[in-house]
Structure 1
Amino acid sequence: MTQSASKPVARAAQQQLVRLAARALARANLVHAYGHCSMRLDEGHFLVCAAKPMGLIRDDDEGTVVGVEGELPEGVLGEVRIHQQIYQRRPEVGAVVRSMPRDVMTLSAAGITPAPRHGMGAYFSPGVPLWDDVQLIRSEQQACGVAEAMGAGAAVVMRGNGAVVAAESLEKTVALTWYLEDAARIELQLRSAGLASNDGILSHQAAQQRATSAGRIFERMWEYLIAGDIQSTGAFMNEKAQ
C-alpha cells in the first residue's frame, strides 16, 4: 500500500470522536491503564488516541496521526503496530480498538475464547481466534502475527493480554468490543455452571442471520456507551467525523 503524499491533519470532529470512544471504553470497564483506539483518516493514515489511560483523556488531549506503514511517531505506544498491520491488510477497516476486558482476559488465560452462544456473540461466528502468546507486542513481527491470526474476523483475543477488535467505523468497533466481553461473560458463566455444551453454540447460518445491523443496533449501543460524556451529543457521529 502506498501512503498519501502528505500526512493529513485530523479534524476537530475526528479528534472528538476518538476521545469519546476512549472514555466510553473506560467507563464500560473494557480498558483500564492500558488500551488504545484509532480511526482511519485515509488510505495511508489513522488517528490514535493519546498515549495515556483512556478514562483520563481530557478534552485538550489530542490523538496522533500515524502512518499505516513506517515507524511509529515519537510518543505513540508500541502496540499501535497492531493497528498498522490491520489497516494494511484490510482496507475495509475504519477503526481498531485494543482493549482489556475482564472476562475475555479470564478465559484467555486458560487458552479459551468465547463461542457464539447468544445474540451478541453471533457477530464473532464461527469463533474468535486466539493469539497464543502472553508477551507484549513490541515488534513488527509480533504485530503481523496478531493481524494474521485475526484474519478477516471482527476480533482476536491475545492470551492473558486482552483483545483487538476492528470494524468499518469507530462507533461499531466500540460496540463490538462490548459485545465481545458480553460473549465472554456468557461463556464463563455457562462453563462455571457446567452448561457449556457444544449444543448451545449457534450454527454459522443462525449466527449470520442474527448478526444484523438493522434496527440501529450499533447506533443504540454507541449512544448507551457515550451517555454522560461531556462531549456527547447523543448522535451517531460517524458522518460528522468523516
Structure 2
Amino acid sequence: MLRMVRSRPRDAHGDYPDSLGGRIRFYRRRAGLTQTALARAANINQGYLSSIEKGERVPRVSTLHALAVALDVPESVLVGASDAHDAPQPLDTRELPLFGAIPNGPPAESQEQLEMFPVLRHLWRPDRYCLRCEFDSMEPTLKPGDLILVEYRPNVNPEWVQGRICACLVDGRPTLKRVSVELRDGRPLVILRGDNPAVPPQLVDERSEFSVQGVAVCLVSRAL
C-alpha cells in the first residue's frame, strides 16, 4: 500500500523558510503579491511589512492575523507551529455584531445589525464590530463583500487617525475612506480618500457636519 506523505513547500532555493518574516515573504510571493499590495490588504505600512520580513520587527498579534487573512494562510503556519496549510486549526472565537452600513452611534445600541459574526478571541472587544463593505471606493485594498473589523471611536480627532481607513459620517451620510488633514489657507481641511484611483477625494470643509465613527482594525473575511 502506498502511503501519501505531505511535503513542505519550498522557496526559490529549495528550502522552507525557518523564520516568521521569511514565511510571510514566502507566502506573499506564492500569492503573487507585492509588499505594497499585501501591506494595503492588511492595513499596515509597507515599510513596517518590509522590516517584519527582514526579521527586524515582530508583528503584533492583530497584525499577524491581518497578514494571515490577506495571505489565506493559517496563523499557525506563519509562526511555524504547523507545516500543513490544509490542517484543521482549532479556533477560539467570540461573536461581534455585523453591520451592512456604518452605525450611527454605539454598535450595541444600533437597530441596523444584520447578524453576529465570529472573530478570533484576541480581536474581540466590546467597542468593536464587523462591517460589510458594499462599494468599490477602497479597491484594491478592500473589495465589495469584504468584512472588516472596526473599532468604535466616536468623534476622534481626525489628526489622530491620519492615513487610517475610517468609518465616517458626512452630513449624515456614511462613508469608508482614508482620513487625512491638510492646511489650506492656514486652516485644517479634512480630506477623505479612497484607494481606488477612479474615486475623487472628498473635501470636508467647516460647513459640513463631519465625524469619525470608527477606525478600521483589520480585514476579517474575504469571499473567494
TM-score (norm 2): 0.30
Flag the structure with more relative contact order, 1 or 2, with Cα contacts below 8 A and sequence separation at least 6: 1
With the length of structure 1 as denominator, give the TM-score of the two structures. Answer: 0.29
